[in-house]
Amino acid sequence: MSILKDILSPIKLNRRTFLKSAAVTSSAVALSACTKETREELLQKDFRSMSKDEIAKVIQRLEEKYAKEYGKKFSVSAKETIPHTFFGYALDISRCIGCRRCVYACVEENNQTKEPQLHWIQVLEMEKELGIDLIHSNLYYDHEEVPYEGHFYLPVQCQQCKNPPCVKVCPVGATWTTSDGIVVVDYNWCIGCRYCMAACPYGARHYNWGKVKLDTETINPNTHYLGNRPRYKGAVEKCTFCIQRVREGRYPKCVEVCPVGARKFGNLLDEKSEIRYILENKRVIILKEELNTQPKFYYFYGT
């Protein structure tokens, strides 16, 4: 015992002081090399641990940064949940014509990077004979006109699971479900390990592989901290039901833009809502129900 004590105590002391000085010096060098903004960004706490004042400060910093970068006045909201709301979504498979207007409206509304293109909504073309069959579906269909003969369309985006595997696997708690039922990501806390992307059964999580490239002309400056504010290289993002809109009492952009009214959205706790009407009067299906993810995104046949 005493031998080890003799041997280990000098290591401990030595290692500790060495590590300490190494850590202090290297972090001092690293921190002094970068600007105040990046320093604050680097040491920023995660969203859920921040006080209201801290959030306000971060938002001010972000608004200044975005304004400088994109030459536009930005508003970054941190608006909280509206009480007594739990959002749900329904998509009428019999109506969808596969025009992909939702895909591109979403890109503009939510400031997805353009290079390489990132889409939160993926529209799959399927053969009518096969039914909903992902393996034989085609994401890259390219016809002169849609709907294409003998085919139907299944748009897939975040299914806003009640039992989300992506939240379960995140090693740092950078993604969670808000009380109004939206699975969100803290883009400043995400380390970019992409475990959530492996875990998601719907391919709904997307990654900024390179620097985020946005058009200053078309950029949407009305943003939410947990939603469509410009993102970072090396962080994951996903559909948030347009949190910046729905928390203001508006519809998600995809619902608004759909030319055939295939997309329905509402408060599941409101008995008079359209979404409740659909759940009660139509027969809904959910994707990959065997995985017990319990989506709040329902598919139904309206006609």
Binding to other proteins by residue 33, rule CB under 8 A?
no
Binding mask 84-113 for other proteins (x = CB under 8 A): ------------------------------
Residue number, 4 or 29, with CB nearest to other proteins: 4
Which residues between 108 and 167 bind other proteins (CB under 8 A)? 116, 118, 122, 124, 133-137, 139-140, 156, 165
Q: Which amino acid is at 267?
A: N
Give CA 268 to chain center in angstroms. Answer: 21
Contact 230, 239 (CB under 8 A): no
Q: Any residues with CB less than 8 A from the CB of 266 and at least 6 apart, and which? A: 87, 88, 273, 274, 275, 276
Site string for other proteins, 211-250 (x = CB under 8 A): x--------------------xxxx---------------
CA distances from 210 to 167, 171, 197, 248 (A): 24, 22, 17, 32
Minimum Å distance from CB 249 to other proteins?
32
CB of 259 to other proteins, least distance (A): 23
Stretch that binds other proteins, among 4-12, 92-100, 142-150, 295-303 (CB under 8 A): 4-12
Residue 143 or 233 having the CB closest to other proteins: 233
Strands (DSSP E) found in 48-139: 75-77, 87-92, 122-127
227: Cα separation from own chain's centroid:
7
Total residues at interface with other proteins (CB under 8 A) = 60
Q: How far apart are CA 125 and CA 133, in angstroms?
A: 10
Of 102, 125, 76, whose CA–CA distance to 241 is shortest? 102
Bridge-based pairing of strands 87-92 and 297-300 is parallel
- To the nearest whole angstrom, how small is the minimum distance from the Cβ of residue 291 to other proteins? 5
Residues 176-215: x/- map of binding to other proteins (CB under 8 A)? Answer: -------------xxxxxxx-xxxxxxx-xxxxxxx----
- Which CB, 82 or 169, lies closer to other proteins? 169
**Residues 13, 30: Cα–Cα separation, whole Å:** 25
Task: Please provide the DSSP assignment of 197-241 as one string.
Answer: HHH-TT---EE--S-----TTT---EEETTTTS---TT-EE---S
Q: Does residue number 291 form part of the binding site for other proteins (CB under 8 A)?
A: yes
Residues at the site binding other proteins, with contacts judged by CB under 8 A = 1, 3-4, 6-8, 10-11, 14, 42, 46, 49, 116, 118, 122, 124, 133-137, 139-140, 156, 165, 168-174, 189-195, 197-203, 205-211, 232-235, 288, 291-292
